[in-house]
Amino acid sequence: MAIFDIEKDDLLRLSDTQLEELIARLAEAEVAANGYSPASVSWSGSINAPDDGIDIHVQVPADTLNTGFLARPDTILQAKKHSMSKGAIKSEMVIGGELSEVISEQASKRGSYIIVSLDDDCSPPMKTARIAAMRDSVKDDPNSDSIHLNFFDRSKLTQWLRQHPSVTLWAKGKLGQGYSGWQPFGAWSNPPKGADDTLISAAGVTLTLPSEKGRKLSIEDAIDPMRELIKSTSKAVRITGLSGVGKTRIVQALFDETVDKEALDRTVAVYVDTGAEPNPSAAAMLDRLISEGRRAIVILDNCPSELHSSLAGKVSAAGGEVRLITVEYDIRDDKPQTTEVIHIEAVGPEVAEQLVIRRFPYIGRNNARRVAEFADGNARVSLAIAERVQEGESLAQLSDAQLFERLFEQRNQADDNLREQAEILSLVYSFSVSKIGERDGELEVLGSILGHSSSQLFRSVKKLLDRHVLQKRGPWRAILPQAIANRLAASALDGIPVHQLREIFEAPGRERLLMSFAHRLGLLHDHPVAKEIVVAWLHPGGLLGRILTLEDTAARMLSYIGPVAPEALLDRIEAELTSPDFDGLEPRFNSQRTVILNLLQLLAYDASAFDRCVNLLIHVADYEGEENNYDSVRDKITRFFQAYLSGTHASLD
C-alpha cells in the first residue's frame, strides 16, 4: 500500500468522536489549501453532545468557495457513524414535520449541508437516491433552490483523506497503523502530560535569519520573518542552535495560530525525529510527497548534516509544493547551497530557568536559577538536574563540582570507569560509533588512550545518552552541552601525557578525529595543555606550521585553534605572509585564503593586535587587483573603520 493510502473499511474502526474530528481536520486542511485559516472550521468535539444539529461548521470569509469537496463558503457537515437510509435522512433533517431550523438557515444563506455516513458505501444510484431524499426534505422551504446538498459515503471520505497527508498520519495513528515516528502537527517538543506547553520568550534567546544580515532578533520579532522565509523560499530551511535552547518548540510555534498572525498551515505539517529511526525513512517520505505533487511542510528534527544535504537538493530541484525544515545541533559545519540557515542561540539562563519553574514549581526560583546557570542555559540539562532536587532543599551552598556530580551520577552509584570514559569521549567535539572499512573505528582509537575496549566505550555511550549528557545523530555522538564536555575534557587533559595524546590523534588515517580534537582544544583556550599542543602545532616544522600549504582539514583545524594561542598564531601568519617567497593569495575560493583572512579579522578584535593584523591585510591586498570583487581584502579592511560593528576594540585614533 502507498504511504498515504488507507483502506476504506479500516475507517469503520473509528469511534463517533474520532469520526467527527477526522471530518473537522479534513475541512481545516481543505480550507487551508485554498488560502483560508483553519480557524474557519469549528466543531463540537462529541458526536452525541447537544449541537443544534451542527457537528462541523465551515465559515470561510469569502463570497464563493468550491474546492471539489466543499462547494460553499458556509458549510455544515453532519457526521454519522451508522448507515443513513432515505428514511434516516428524512428523520435527521425534518423534525416534528418542520425542516430543521439550522438547515433552513443554511438555505437562506445559500449555504451547504453535507451528511457524511461512515457505514454507507454507495453505488452511484444509491448515492443519487440519498441526495434525492435530502432534496425532498427541503422542498417546502422558500429557499430550497438556494441550498447546496451532498452526501459523502465511506469511499468519498477515503478519497478526501488521500488528498491530505498530515490528516492521513493522524487517522493512521488513531487506527493503530501509524508510521513509526511520523506525526501531524502537535506537541513535538514532548512536554510531560498536563504540562504547560506555551512558548517561552525570554531575554537572551536570539535568532539570526539570512534576510537580516547578521542582526539578532528576539523570538517575538523573528517568528513572522521565519514564517515568510519558509513560505517563499524554494530552498530547505535549516534551524540550528546549541542543545537545549528550544529549537523544536520554536519550530512548533511557527504553526501555532495563537503565536502572532499568519501562522504556517498546520494541516500540511509532517514531523519526525530522525534520531528515532522512522519508518518509512525521511528520504522515502519526501520522495513520495514530491512525486505525488503533495502540498506539505516536512519537519525533520535531529537531522544529520548528510541527510539534510541530500534531501535539500531534492526539494530545491523539485521546486514544488513540498517545503523542508530540518532542526539540528549541527555537529558538523557544512552548509549546502540549497539551504537557508536560521541560527538560534541563548545567552543567559532565563529560558531554562522559566522551564524548570514550570515543570518543577516546588523547587523554588532560587534553585531554578542556580540550576539554569550551572547548565549554561541548557534546558535539557537543567531539567535533568532539577529532577533530583528535593522539596525544601537549597542548592545555594553546592559548588559547580557538586552539581556536576548530581548531573553525571543522577540516581546511580558513583562510577569512576564511566567518568573516565566520558572524559576520553569529550576530548573530541564529536565521534562516530560506526566502523568503516578495515581501519580502526573512532571508538577503538579513543579507547586506546587509557586502555578501554570499543565495546566498553559503546556501553558507556548508551549510559551517557540516558543521562542527557550525550546526543545522538545517526552514527555521530557528542558530549553536550559544551559546558559539560569542556569540564570533562579539561580533566582528561590534566591526567594524560601530551606526547601520548599527540601520538594517538596525529597518527596517519585519523584526520577527522584529529580535526575534532582540535575543535575541542579551541574551546579550552585557558588550559595549559591545550596551549602547549597548539603552540607545538604552530611551530614552523609543526603540524600547522606551513600555513600557506594547508589542505582543507588542516585549514579547518587552524580556524578552530585560534583562541588558544593567539600570539603564536599571529606570529606564524606574519612569518608566512612576509616571507620573501610570498606572492599573494589567489583571489578565488581556497581554504587557506579564507581561513587566513578570517583569522586576521578575528585577531584584530584585540586592540593590541590591530595594527599588525591590518598591516598584514594591506600586505595581502597589495597583491590583489583592484578589479577583484570576490571576497575582496579591501572590503575586509574598510569594514574595520565603520562607526558601528567595526569588529575591533582598537581606539578611534
d(CA 637, CA 56): 64
Q: What is the DSSP letter of 180?
A: B
Of 623, 620, 603, the residue nearest 611 (C-alpha): 603
Tally of CB atoms within 10 A around 427:
25
Write b or e for each residue in 306-329: b if 16 or more Cβ atoms lie within 10 A of its Cβ, otherwise e.
ebbbebbbbbbebebebbbbbbbb
Q: Please, which pLDDT band fits residue 647 given cuts at 50, 70 and 90?
A: confident
The reported pLDDT for the residue numbered 19 is 94
What is the average pLDDT across 32-40? 90
Give the residue with greater pLDDT, 281 vs 180.
281
Least confident segment among 143-157, 403-417, 567-581, 611-625:
403-417
Q: What angle do CA 165, 171, 175 make, to 5 degrees?
A: 140
d(CA 521, CA 523): 5
pLDDT winner (highest mean) among 314-323, 568-577, 631-640: 568-577
* Predicted confidence (pLDDT) per residue in 160-200, tens digit: 998 898 999 899 888 887 677 888 998 898 887 777 777 77
- The helix/strand/coil state of 344 is strand
Residues 6+ apart with CB under 8 A from 151: 84, 89, 114, 115, 117, 122, 127, 130, 131, 134
What is the average pLDDT across 313-320? 86
Beta-bridged to residue 272, according to DSSP, are 300
- With contact defined as beta carbons under 8 Å apart, do 2 and 168 qualify? no
- With contact defined as beta carbons under 8 Å apart, do 568 and 535 qualify? yes
The reported pLDDT for the residue numbered 346 is 75
What is the average pLDDT across 96-102? 91
Which CA distances in Å does 10 have to 119, 155, 156, 182, 203?
A: 11, 11, 14, 19, 49
- With contact defined as beta carbons under 8 Å apart, do 212 and 225 qualify? yes
d(CA 208, CA 244): 17
Residue 331 pLDDT > 60:
no
Q: What is the DSSP letter of 41?
A: E
Q: Please, which pLDDT band fits residue 557 given cuts at 50, 70 and 90?
A: very high
Residues 6+ apart with CB under 8 A from 402: none
DSSP codes, 262-299:
S---GGGEEEEEGGG--BS-HHHHHHHHHHTT--EEEE
Spacing of C-alpha 45 from chain mean position: 31
The reported pLDDT for the residue numbered 115 is 96
Tally of CB atoms within 10 A around 35:
9
- The helix/strand/coil state of 43 is strand
Residue 119 pLDDT > 90:
yes
Of 37, 114, 28, 23, the residue nearest 71 (C-alpha): 114
* Predicted confidence (pLDDT) per residue in 244-279, tens digit: 678 898 999 999 988 888 899 999 999 999 887 888
The reported pLDDT for the residue numbered 417 is 85
The reported pLDDT for the residue numbered 401 is 81
Which CA distances in Å does 496 have to 59, 130, 457, 502, 515?
A: 71, 83, 18, 10, 19
d(CA 406, CA 484): 12
Give the H/E segment covering residue 161.
Answer: helix 154-162
Per the structure block, which three cell numbers stand in for 643? 562607526
Q: Please, which pLDDT band fits residue 474 given cuts at 50, 70 and 90?
A: confident
Q: Please, which pLDDT band fits residue 443 given cuts at 50, 70 and 90?
A: very high
- With contact defined as beta carbons under 8 Å apart, do 477 and 471 qualify? yes
d(CA 471, CA 134): 59
Q: Please, which pLDDT band fits residue 52 given cuts at 50, 70 and 90?
A: low
The reported pLDDT for the residue numbered 354 is 85
What is the average pLDDT across 417-423? 91
Mean pLDDT over each residue of the chain, to the nearest integer = 87
d(CA 76, CA 105): 11
Residue 48 pLDDT > 60:
no
Residues 6+ apart with CB under 8 A from 368: 353, 356, 357, 360, 382, 386
Q: Where are the alpha helices (DSSP H) in 410-481?
A: 416-425, 442-447, 454-466
Residue 326 pLDDT > 90:
yes
* Predicted confidence (pLDDT) per residue in 567-598, tens digit: 999 999 999 889 988 887 776 667 788 888 88
- With contact defined as beta carbons under 8 Å apart, do 265 and 34 qualify? no
- Paired sense of beta strands 269-273 and 431-432, if any: unpaired
Of 252, 268, 243, the residue nearest 190 (C-alpha): 252
Q: Is the peptide bond before 278 cis (omega within 30 degrees of 0)?
A: no
- With contact defined as beta carbons under 8 Å apart, do 450 and 496 qualify? yes
Per the structure block, which three cell numbers stand in for 521? 582544544
Residue 45 pLDDT > 70:
no
The reported pLDDT for the residue numbered 597 is 87
Beta-bridged to residue 361, according to DSSP, are none
Element counts in the chain: helices (H) and strands (E)? 26, 17
The reported pLDDT for the residue numbered 3 is 66
Phi, psi of 330 (to 5 degrees): 65, 70
DSSP codes, 14-72:
--HHHHHHHHHHHHHHHHHHTT--GGGEEE-S-TTS--TT-SEEEE-SSS----SS--S
The reported pLDDT for the residue numbered 581 is 85
What is the average pLDDT across 129-144? 95
**Torsion sign across C-alpha atoms 391, 396, 399, 400:** positive
* Predicted confidence (pLDDT) per residue in 58-93, tens digit: 999 998 899 989 999 999 999 999 999 999 999 999
- The helix/strand/coil state of 614 is helix
Residue 441 pLDDT > 80:
yes
Tally of CB atoms within 10 A around 105:
15
d(CA 578, CA 25): 69
What is the average pLDDT across 494-505? 95
Which CA distances in Å does 311 have to 4, 188, 254, 606?
A: 20, 21, 21, 41
Tally of CB atoms within 10 A around 514:
21
Q: Is the peptide bond before 50 cis (omega within 30 degrees of 0)?
A: no
Residue type, 434: S
| Percent of the chain's residues with pLDDT above 90 | 47
The reported pLDDT for the residue numbered 542 is 93
Residue type, 632: S
Spacing of C-alpha 653 from chain mean position: 45
The reported pLDDT for the residue numbered 521 is 97
| Cα radius of gyration (the chain) | 31
Give the residue with greater pLDDT, 601 vs 435.
601
> Look-up: residue for cell 535549516?
238
Write b or e for each residue in 428-458: b if 16 or more Cβ atoms lie within 10 A of its Cβ, otherwise e.
bbbbbbeeeeeebbbbebbbbbeebebeebe
d(CA 252, CA 422): 33
